[in-house]
Amino acid sequence: MNLMKYILQIHCPDQKGLIAVTTQVLAKAGANIIDLKQHTAKDIGIFFLRAVFEIEEAGILEVKNHLKSIESEYQLKWNLLNTKKTPRIAIFVSKTDHCLYDLLLKQRDGALACEFSCIVSNHTDLGPVGGSFGVPFYYVPSNQEKSVQEGRFREIISETKTDGIVLARYMQILSADFTQDFLYKIINIHHSFLPAFKGAKPYHQAWHKGVKVIGATTHFATEDLDQGPIIFQDIERVPETVSIGELIQLGKDIEKRTLSSGLKLWLEQRIFVYAGRTFIL
């Protein structure tokens, strides 16, 4: 028996019988549900569901046809992911390497279910890192017209069959057109200090203010800089005795685990974006 594993995402206006309808759709097609999570956001009256199921390859067409048949009645939005297909992710980075190394190591150890299709940078410094991990490295300088630079990005994404992008401390602003074309497929990391500590050396600014808690935020990149829907956040309490250098190291550790955690949620299709905010199941 040739069983395939799929992930089903559903969201629609909340109403009676939605869980029953979904499970009946899968049961009729001969699917075996492995995991199912659902949530109703009562403030907005929207129902969300994520189901992981196994099914014979021939049965998936029946699932799709059943879902299409109830779309109108339930105002249903749905997405099906075949877990056999491994997502291909591009890493964009500048000179800072802690997030880059962390992602590459976690993927190599099996903690991130993806392939890294390429590393893209506006500097050549980290080229050898790609070579040591067997990931193609592309240098795309930022001292050129944004349209030219992002045109090259599009070529690389096409050539490497990339499904998503993770900005691992890529210190350049992407255009509104680019982020819109890859909406909810670009994941970024920034300090939770923002906007309190803007500009250069935010950790230095934080230390001089005597900050007691630091953090980081993983979010989707949108045309509004650092304002995209939030995927994952983490914090760390700051001992009174730390030096600036020790504070920076604490920040790097938070950035690494926050970025990899956010990417893992995206890879597992756990993120729903509705009206500009995320719901994680």
Which active-site residues does the annotation give? Answer: 226
Distance in angstroms (rounded) separating the CA atoms of residues 257 and 58: 39
Which parts of the chain are beta strand (E)?
Answer: 3-13, 32-41, 46-56, 77-82, 88-93, 115-121, 137-139, 164-167, 186-191, 213-220, 230-237, 271-274, 277-280
Give SS3 for 265.
helix
Extract the tokens encoding 141.
């300088």
For residue 107, CA distances in Å to 36, 100, 214, 216, 263 come to 26, 11, 26, 21, 11
Distance (Å, rounded) from C-alpha 85 to C-alpha 135? 19
d(C-alpha 220, C-alpha 118), whole Å: 19
Q: What angle do CA 166, 171, 173 make, to 5 degrees?
A: 85
Residue pair 256/98 in contact by the 8 Å Cβ criterion: yes
